[in-house]
Structure 1
């Protein structure tokens, strides 16, 4: 058989064997093709050096390898081992700069390609919108920062539902963003150009899964309102009931999916590159925003929110009404509910109502909202004037229940004393309640005296300035300045009350919301102190205390018995979990592997340069051969340890 065929077969066998060994020894999913090609290249490049080494060791003579001598077999084995090591060094280097990936599912590859196309297209749209609105780098430097909030709001309105919703969420973060940006983001609206009626009709038919005449006696092709995600049509059921149909735009969900993917990638990259993003948990915030937006796109959740708020309002006399939802006609992308009659407060002309009637309605609205927040724990969280409709009989109908807040009972118990302390100008009590509700941000220096001083200042200002300032905005500013983390539910309460002030002043331009709220809260506090609730709470805590007392003697006996027997032990929680113990064991194992590998390499070098000793062949000392073997073993151990470290780093 010709020598070149033998060399080719040996090279192929070496490449396959090296790929197999590399995948097992390096403990990672190295690509088969890459490992085999790398090993083949190493074999070809090292072949001249191998022939020279075998010739010097008297193993390669007259164009053939002497294999009948045991010494020759040892030389062949060690040379193959070093070739394996060289191949693995190259593989590790390639993995560091260019990690290999397994073969993906073709369907997944196509899906990811389509997503990348959608992301690229959306990126281009967003960049074009930002540039058009003056948010480019050069435009921003030319215009300065004064017009930044206005330009940002305009760009968000143009970018669509995801960015409008993101802006609305950011507008509630008074604890993070500056006031001028908060005020600008609060003006974001969802108004948009309506989709043509044939497209809306097709979407309604698809959600009904039957022709429209089988459900509706009539439906107005002209929408009552249109937003980036949906539009609303007036209709009448076959029973004669007037309703509104809120239909989601067919392409809204796909755009939101792409935008949320982009936001998640941007948040991940921000956490990787910046410390502030990691401190605020940017990835977790993006995930929570995505979850909330997906829920808002599911109108079945809005229908459930509507019924929950209806139940809360029904428990106390109120002028508020909540439209009925037709659950049998409601789907994830379509909502059918009772049509509210009247005029939205956003369209109410100044002095349209007599002053006394306007003040009476404003008082009733504020009392109902405070009752929802402080007593019931369920409230409408988006009470801008367009979501409150004034009926001819003086009742107020709430609409759009995509944002409904929930305050747990433990926070409501703290919220009432907070409002009473504000009403009583008690800065000590308000400070103590705030410290029970809020915690200092990580790494922030905190001064209780400074916080109490700032709270006392705003309470004094409010009690002497009347209706000119909003105490809830001022309190949030104080908490942000003192680096306190505000619970999301409490921040939502403050934001709702702050936005409610503008709604109330649509009824009465000079309405003092803060004064009225602080006036009615002490009376509402009695509702949380009913004899029945006090009795139930006493019974619950008494049962818990009794159970703890019954278990106390056995626990004391166990401890004293262990002390008497000398068997009392203390468990360290720092290494209690399996994950922590595995981490420590892995760390020590890797350290041991590195120490042994370095020791073998150093010993191999020392043996390789040592003079004297028996000769393995005429030109090769036995110590040098043994040092080569030990060095090879140490190199393989270091390669394995290095590859594990690289995997953890990536």
Structure 2
């Protein structure tokens, strides 16, 4: 539990950051986007120094680095220049001293490093906010990579997240903008992601699951955990001898045909998303390595995406519609998987999605990016008060990272056509799988229950028909609303008759001489006229301001 000075320091750090950027263009644009202000012109802002925002988040600590990376998936809020700066946001932290590394490893595996490993490199291979990776050799002679969690990192993350939760709860309660932002939902997503990344047992399980799912793709390598050498704080796995995709030289691209490798990578990812419902969610170029024997290794499975069966089916339809440049079907599929209310601009959404898909048809294979297309669709949905599932945004980010990898290995590769080919194959495979006997068991059980209950229910129906007791209840008319409507009409007719009587009476009294006058006219007639005018004005205002029908149309 954090002390009062630590709490004060956390609040000060966050509030100083907010004050610095409160009147900046990025906050103004985010606020206007959150409130769907159609009069806001994004082109009027030049968004100076987006890198400064990324640097400030980095200086605030690893929790805020992760928050920045998460915000890079929200094009519906953050302007384009800041998205790019946040996408490139990486951890820049000091190395854990080797003495600390040795202590953590020995505590976790229950024996000395010198006994557990033939060799354990002092200098790390990589260092990040959550963990640090060292090269080691097991007693069997096998090379492994050992990832060690930073001491106290879980406590620091949770304290920062608790501080953010307290502040965002206040913001959502008192600020319409913060509520529209759904900043509390963003924070919940960040907490979920971080707590999963902090558990190396889950990451080991993810490595095993993905390794099994990609077994049929020989060019895709998933490092597997080493049993007995992994806990919640250390993860020992196969060492992959290779280099980051972004480090490949231009000469290597000329000398080697990487197209078959990219074909297999695209096929493997689409299988993960559409068929398995379990995918590596962070395939940025730093997490994708090219091995010396020209295979692709997927690293760091702390972040994974899971897709439900219904969502997978809709994603399949969506990718087919996009590949066929069918804007209408694309919009229909997006709406099927979305949440929206009566205020949503469905017609505007369909129009803009159709235009976006048709515009993409004219782009070259090199310029067409399916991932960015999905991100743009998410932004259009937000502007039209339509909430797409968060998994679709994750899919957009996955495909955007795929675009980068493809651009490095084979710049002229037609990713859109590759997606279309693989999606059709996966659809055929999915249909064949659904025809298996196992998938008919649930339907067979339901049919059995129906068969068992049907005679009894038919007897009840025929008995009620014979006794003239059979009733059908139709909830089609709101009786209360109907009677209220009739009463309202009757009241207004009555008021109208009274107003007419007052006016007729006033007109007749105008012809009768009277000593009591107002403005030179018979006083009683003027009172009748004024009373009729006031009642008439009141009735008109009530009809305009109070009628439920008018309120619904606003």
Normalised to the residue count of structure 2, the TM-score between the two structures is 0.74
Q: Give secondary structure in 2 for the equivalent of 1:503.
A: helix
* Structure 1 residues 30-69: aligned runs within 5 Å: none
**1:345 offset after TM fit, Å?**
0.8
1:474 aligns with 2:376: no
CA distance in 2, matches of 1:274, 1:479: 24
CA distance in 2, matches of 1:421, 1:341: 40
1:501 aligns with 2:403: yes
CA distance in 2, matches of 1:385, 1:486: 27
Structure 1 residue aligned with 2:127: 226
Write out per-residue CA displacement over residues 311-357 of structure 1, whole angstroms, 9 at most, x where no aligned residue.
Answer: 1112x334101112013111111111110011121222223233661
**8 Å CA contact 1:438, 1:487 repeated in 2:** yes
CA distance in 1, matches of 2:414, 2:349: 26
**8 Å CA contact 1:380, 1:403 repeated in 2:** yes
1:157 aligns with 2:55: no
Q: Indicate which of 176, 179, 186 corresponds to 1:275.
A: 176
* Structure 1 residues 106-121: aligned runs within 5 Å: 114-121=2-9
Write out per-residue CA displacement over residues 556-609 of structure 1, whole angstroms, 9 at most, x where no aligned residue.
Answer: 655676795979899x9xxxxxxxxxxxxxxxxxxxxxxxxxxxxxxxxxxxxx
Normalised to the residue count of structure 1, the TM-score between the two structures is 0.64
Write out per-residue CA displacement over residues 507-550 of structure 1, whole angstroms, 9 at most, x where no aligned residue.
Answer: 12333322322233222221111166355445533542453354
Structure 2 residue aligned with 1:186: 87
1:169 aligns with 2:67: no
**8 Å CA contact 1:303, 1:327 repeated in 2:** no
**8 Å CA contact 2:461, 2:470 repeated in 1:** no
**8 Å CA contact 1:342, 1:390 repeated in 2:** yes
* Structure 1 residues 189-200: aligned runs within 5 Å: 189-200=90-101
CA distance in 1, matches of 2:280, 2:26: 38
Structure 2 residue aligned with 1:485: 387
Q: Give secondary structure in 1 for the equivalent of 2:75.
A: coil
CA distance in 2, matches of 1:559, 1:446: 45
**1:281 offset after TM fit, Å?**
4.8
1:253 aligns with 2:154: yes
CA distance in 2, matches of 1:325, 1:140: 42
Q: Indicate which of 225, 247, 254 corresponds to 1:354.
A: 254
Structure 2 residue aligned with 1:447: 346
**8 Å CA contact 2:291, 2:297 repeated in 1:** yes
**1:487 offset after TM fit, Å?**
1.2
Structure 1 residue aligned with 2:449: 547
Using a 3 Å threshold, how does the CA distance of structure 1 residues 547 and 286 change in structure 2: closer, same or farther? Answer: same
Q: Indicate which of 387, 396, 401 corresponds to 2:296.
A: 396
Q: Give secondary structure in 2 for the equivalent of 1:336.
A: strand
1:369 aligns with 2:269: yes
* Structure 1 residues 127-142: aligned runs within 5 Å: 135=21
Using a 3 Å threshold, how does the CA distance of structure 1 residues 377 and 196 change in structure 2: closer, same or farther? Answer: same
Write out per-residue CA displacement over residues 120-179 of structure 1, whole angstroms, 9 at most, x where no aligned residue.
Answer: 123344566788xx64769999xx871363222111112222111112222223344433
Structure 2 residue aligned with 1:529: 431
Structure 2 residue aligned with 1:464: 362
**8 Å CA contact 1:455, 1:475 repeated in 2:** no
Structure 2 residue aligned with 1:406: 306
CA distance in 1, matches of 2:16, 2:168: 21
CA distance in 1, matches of 2:9, 2:46: 29
CA distance in 1, matches of 2:357, 2:461: 53
**8 Å CA contact 1:140, 1:148 repeated in 2:** no
CA distance in 2, matches of 1:522, 1:395: 25
Write out per-residue CA displacement over residues 455-489 of structure 1, whole angstroms, 9 at most, x where no aligned residue.
Answer: 33222222221221323322332343233212122
CA distance in 2, matches of 1:528, 1:166: 37
Q: Whose helix proportion is higher, 1 or 2?
A: 1
**1:235 offset after TM fit, Å?**
0.8
CA distance in 2, matches of 1:240, 1:411: 45
Structure 1 residue aligned with 2:238: 338
**8 Å CA contact 1:115, 1:258 repeated in 2:** no
1:328 aligns with 2:228: yes
Q: Indicate which of 433, 436, 440 corresponds to 2:333.
A: 433
Q: Indicate which of 378, 383, 386 corresponds to 2:278.
A: 378
CA distance in 1, matches of 2:161, 2:415: 38
Q: Indicate which of 407, 410, 419 corresponds to 1:517.
A: 419
**8 Å CA contact 2:371, 2:395 repeated in 1:** no
* Structure 1 residues 65-80: aligned runs within 5 Å: none
Paired residues in the alignment total 453
The answer for unaligned runs of 5 or more in structure 2 is: 28-44, 476-554
Moved more, 183-192 or 293-302: 183-192
* Structure 1 residues 566-645: aligned runs within 5 Å: none
Q: Give secondary structure in 2 for the equivalent of 1:343.
A: strand
The answer for unaligned runs of 5 or more in structure 1 is: 1-110, 573-650
CA RMSD of aligned residues (A): 3.1
Q: Indicate which of 219, 234, 247 corresponds to 1:319.
A: 219
CA distance in 1, matches of 2:182, 2:22: 27
CA distance in 2, matches of 1:151, 1:283: 25
